[in-house]
Amino acid sequence: MCVIKNYFKYIRYSLFILIIISCTNNTSINNDANQIISLVINELSQIYQKPLVLNKEIEKEPLAKELIFVLERNMNLISKNLVLKKNNQEYQELLNNLSNLKFKNDINIKEIGVIKGIKILKLTDEHIEIIKSGKSHNSFDVFLLFSMISFNDNNDKALLIVNHGTSSLASSMDIFFLKKKNNIWKILNTQNISIS
């Protein structure tokens, strides 16, 4: 009887440790995902701060004192036919894995953190209609549609696809290649997929 009690005690402790390890890994991935999304927003905000005329920046006030971004996850961004440029080939496996990731619409705007000069909103049906119409509006400045983020086994390389723009007639889709060093994510490179 004593052996059985010890056996069950061992199983309980083992399960408890496994649950803690599992929760820690999920928290780490969520923190990494939030850091990556924040980094991408920061990077893209530089593009949308100044209006472009004939591909030349004009010296003017930013479009608004506060850029308004609307965010959403969208797995429709992924295409099986994407080919990476030679300098991005080390990320091919991450790109291949992207279409197999379980879809989660889990962008928690509160967890992304505060980014100076940027207001972040969740994409709504109203925003989608505005994007599709291509008409001018004042409800937001930039939309961002994110794929899931594909991480390598060491959790030090990541890849995601982002569709960003001001309307369906003024948007770009890019692959972002990221690397983590000393617990900080950096964008190594981007590769454009399409422009409309």
Find, among 179, 188, 114, 107, the residue nearest to 145 by Cα: 107
Task: Provide the residue count of the chain.
Answer: 196
Q: What DSSP line would sit under 113-143, residue for residue? A: --BTTEEEEE--HHHHHHHHHT---SS-SEE
173 part of a folded domain: yes
Q: What mean pLDDT is reported for the chain? A: 76
- Count of domains forming the chain: 1
What does pTM read for this prediction? 0.74
- What's the mean pLDDT in 52-58? 45
pLDDT exceeds cutoff 90 at 131: no
H-helix segments, 49-80: none
23 part of a folded domain: no
3 part of a folded domain: no
pLDDT exceeds cutoff 90 at 68: no
Percent of the chain with pLDDT over 70: 72
48 part of a folded domain: yes
18 part of a folded domain: no
25 part of a folded domain: no
Domain of 75, in residue numbers: 31-195
